[in-house]
Amino acid sequence: MGSQCSKFTPCCLDSQFKPASVVEVSDTIGVEGKNEADSLPVFREFTFEQLKNATSGFAVENIVSEHGEKAPNVVYKGKLESQRRIVVKRFNRMAWPDARQFLEEARSVGQLRNRRLANLLGCCCEDDERLLVAEYLPNETLAKHLFHWESHPMKWAMRLRVALHLAEALEYCTSKGRALYHDLNAYRILFDEDGNPRLSSLGLMKNSRDGKSYSTNLAFTPPEYLRTGRVIPESVIYSFGTLLVDLLSGKHIPPSHALDLIRDRNLQMLTDSCLEGKFSNDDGTELLRLASRCLQYELRERPSSKSLVAALIPLQKETEVSSHVLMGIPHSTSLSPLTPFGEACSRKDLTAIHEILENIGYKDDEGVTNELSFQMWTDEMKETLTFKKRGDSAFKQKDFRDAMECYTQFIDAGTMISPTLFARRSLCYLMIDMHQEALNDAMQAQVISPVWHVASYLQAIALGMLGMENEAQLALKEGTNLEAERSRISDEHK
């Protein structure tokens, strides 16, 4: 790797930079397995009801926006009936007043399909609603891994890989006539199941009716945007330069300050102290040179995305190491240690699951909103509650057909909403080989209680019984993560 150094000497800024040899853009770095983009469904239009159900009624628990509920356009995670994980961006009601313009833009972006993108899968345009649907990537943002890491900082080889993958994403979009990206920053880069970085396709569409394309932090805004209020391809390259500074420094340094440090040769301030001795002088110099070129005031002095790709390919390190290994992320094929519930689901041990559900009782219904009217004092309500009691008794005695019928009568009465009841009926269906009905009930339980691990576990079993093994593994992993998070929160409150 050459001499190891994370401090630059003044000679690092001399202008005798040798142009990088042009290398064909290919699958050189960190691309494992088949091209996932080829297996994606074609872009489609969803109904508002479908997306409402997918996000459990746009539940607060499913918000993944950078600024949560305060974001002008909120992003939710969700799951379609096909079990595909998605994110849904819901624009505020004043955004995109022209429905035709919104649909045309969404369809255009939806034609893009590339493994360097978190691809757009569909949209919804009903009444005042404007929503975009994209792939869900489960392993957080670059901002989280770079600025807010908990266990270990991002390795130098991975930072170089992020830069290349991002440049390749921009070059692909440019080649398809979509060179404009709005507010490119570390929150727009996401990591997939394999730990590979991808660019969110949501930034390929403007955020609002006024065409505002950048956040309110003017320190990171391209100078020409401040003059004209318009994004041009060169503006995207400028933002790419700010990301290169982020990757080198591990901090979000304003471009003007970064350029001042470069001019003053105060380069130690520009390098992440966590990378001490972890990269060569030449590598750091080249990355800094690229960042400097991207941040030039004059548009013509900024490089193209194609030349950025050519310059970044020769810098790649540890190319034989998978991204998930470099990132320290468990691979999608591996699971965290399973709890007794998770183990029972993995084995499809319905008897063990029955025992667990019986022990849980109805305590997980606490906090679920149930609006009871004066009906609860009538004979009709008492009769309805009798169905539940009879169902619980039959469930305990393992008379699953009788329990299913009683629970159905209680649910059909529509007096109370209970995720536990749907979970219990789901297990009853599993016991009598009605697997699709079991899946439907498990999904309904999750709609009512979006972060309830029991619902995900039951979905895993039903999907496995239906022969959908990949989806079953994803549901099992989701249930494991939800249960672990529940335990962590419980421990914190003890």
Query: E strands, 153-297, where?
Result: 189-191, 197-200
pLDDT at 12: 39
Quote the percentage of the chain above a pLDDT of 70: 83
What are the pLDDT digits (tens) for 366-384? Answer: 765 544 444 444 556 677 7
Q: Using an 8 Å Cβ cutoff, are 433 and 447 in contact?
A: no
Cα separation of 48 and 57, whole Å? 10
DSSP state of 302: S
- Per-residue pLDDT averaged across 419-436, rounded? 94
Pairing of strands 44-45, 120-126: parallel
Cα–Cα distance for residue pair 47/43, rounded to 1 Å:
13
- Do the Cβ atoms of 160 and 316 come closer than 8 Å? yes
Decide if pLDDT at 20 tops 50.
Answer: no
Mean confidence (pLDDT) of the chain: 83
Give residue 70's pLDDT band: very low, low, confident or very high (50, 70, 90): low
Q: Which residues pair with 134 in a beta bridge?
A: 87, 120
In terms of Cα–Cα distance, which of 474, 419, 475 is closest to 450? 419
Determine the residue type at 367.
Answer: G
pLDDT tier at 457 (50, 70, 90 boundaries)?
very high
Residue 47 binned pLDDT confidence (cut-offs 50, 70, 90): very high
Question: Which residue type occupies 455?
Answer: A
Rounded Cα distance, 239 and 460, in Å: 42
Q: Find tokens 């998930």 and name the residue.
A: 324
367 or 46, greater pLDDT: 46
C-alpha distances in Å from residue 67, one per residue of 39, 98, 215, 450: 32, 26, 12, 20
pLDDT band, very low/low/confident/very high, at 188 (cuts 50, 70, 90): very high
Q: 259-266 contacts: CB < 8 A, separation 24 or more?
A: 259/292, 259/295, 262/13, 262/288, 262/292, 265/8, 265/10, 265/13
483 pLDDT band, cuts 50/70/90, is confident
For residues 146 and 153, give the distance between their C-alpha atoms in angstroms, rounded to a whole number. Answer: 7
Predicted confidence at residue 213, as pLDDT, reads 66
pLDDT of residue 106 exceeding 70, the answer is yes
Q: pLDDT tens digits for 205-260?
A: 875 444 556 665 777 889 888 888 888 999 999 999 999 999 999 988 888 888 88
Most confident listed range (251-265, 410-424, 448-462): 448-462
Sequence-distant (6+) residues with CB within 8 A of 217 are none
Evaluate the CA torsion angle 430, 434, 436, 438 in order and state its sign: negative
Where does residue 31 rank: exposed (0-12), middle (13-18), buried (19+ CB within 10 A)?
middle
**Nearest to residue 433, comparing CAs of 406, 410, 404?**
404
183 is catalytic: yes
pLDDT tops 70 at residue 14: no
Written as one letter, the residue type at 43 is F
Whole-number pLDDT of residue 21 = 32
Lowest-confidence region among 20-29, 188-197, 310-319, 363-372: 20-29
Stretch among 112-121, 273-282, 398-407, 464-473 having the lowest mean pLDDT: 273-282
Helix (H) or strand (E) holding 122: strand 120-126
Residue 345 near residue 460, CB atoms below 8 Å: yes
Chain-centroid distance, C-alpha 9: 40
Task: Tell me the HSE value of 308 on the side-chain side, using a 13 A CA sphere.
Answer: 34
Helix (H) or strand (E) holding 409: helix 400-413
Confidence of residue 354 (pLDDT cuts 50, 70, 90): very high
d(CA 303, CA 312) in angstroms, rounded, equals 12
Single out the catalytic residue among 14, 27, 183, 491: 183
Asked if 449 and 430 touch (Cβ cutoff 8 Å), the reply is: no
* DSSP result, 64-90: --TTGGGSSSEEEEEE-TT--EEEEEE
